[in-house]
């Protein structure tokens, strides 16, 4: 099942949206985006749990 994520769904003022085949691939894209656009070398646990709970079926 394809999954999608948007930064605005976790309260970030950011237009980034992405979708992928599965959650694992999606999280890889989210991590890359967090690193390059939000200067987060690592996504902390609290943010990661927000990310995961905001993931929707694409
Ligand atoms: Zn973003």
Round to whole Å and give the CA distance between 1 and 11: 25
pLDDT digits (tens, 9 = 90+) for 18-55: 999 999 999 999 999 999 999 999 999 999 999 999 99
Round to whole Å and give the CA distance between 15 and 44: 21
Round to whole Å and give the CA distance between 48 and 30: 10
For ligand 1, the distance from its centroid to the CA atom of residue 1, given in whole angstroms, is 23
Residue range(s) defining the domain that contains residue 29:
3-57
Total structural domains within the chain: 1
pTM: 0.93
For ligand 1, the distance from its centroid to the CA atom of residue 52, given in whole angstroms, is 14
CA neighbor of 9 nearest in space, from 55, 40, 57: 55
For the cut 90, the answer to whether the pLDDT of residue 1 exceeds it is: no
- Look at residue 19 and give its three-state secondary structure: strand
- Look at residue 14 and give its three-state secondary structure: coil
């Amino acid at each position: 099942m394809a999954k999608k994520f948007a930064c605005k769904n976790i309260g970030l003022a950011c237009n980034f949206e992405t979708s992928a085949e599965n959650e694992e691939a999606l999280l890889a894209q989210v991590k890359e985006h967090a690193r390059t656009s939000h200067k987060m070398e690592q996504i902390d646990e609290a943010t990661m749990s927000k990310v995961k709970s905001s993931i929707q079926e694409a």
